[in-house]
Structure 1
Amino acid sequence: MSTKYRFRDKYRIQLREKDHPPPHVHLTGGGVDVMLSLETVEVMMGKAPPLIIKEAQAWVLTHQVQLLEDWKRCYP
C-alpha cells in the first residue's frame, strides 16, 4: 500500500499495489473508505463528507496522470 497524499491530519489517498481493476485510489482515514476512479475522478464506492470528497477529488485530478502511470506500473 502506498500513501500518495495526507490531508487534514487524518485522511489519506492510497494506491494499493495488490488491488483490482478498474484503476482507482482509496480515500481512507477518519472512519471512511472511499474508492475514487482514476479515469473519471468520481466516487466508485463508499461515502465521506462532501468537503472531504471534493478535496480528495481535486488532488487526484491534479495528479491524475502520475497516478495512472503508477497504476500501470503495478498492473502492466
Structure 2
Amino acid sequence: MRTEPTWRIPVGILGLIAGLILYGFIIARYAPGIIGDWPTWAQTLVYLVLGIIWLKPLRNFLIWMETGHWGVPRQD
C-alpha cells in the first residue's frame, strides 16, 4: 500500500472529468445528426453502447493513477 501522496491521483481525476466532458460534448454534438432519423430502439442501443464504451480504457487509467504503470504490471 502507498504511504506517500502522489500527483497522479488529482491529475488523473481532473483528466478523467475533462475527458468525460469532452466525450459527452462530442457525442451530444455529432450523434443526433447521424442517428436522429433511426428508429427509437436503434438510437437507444447506440446510446447504450456509447455510454458503456468509455469504460474500456478506464481500468488501465485507474491502474496508472495508482501505480504509475499503464495497464497491469507484469510479474516477471
TM-score by length of 1: 0.26
More strand by share: 1
Select the structure of larger CA radius of gyration. 2
TM-score when scaled to structure 2?
0.26
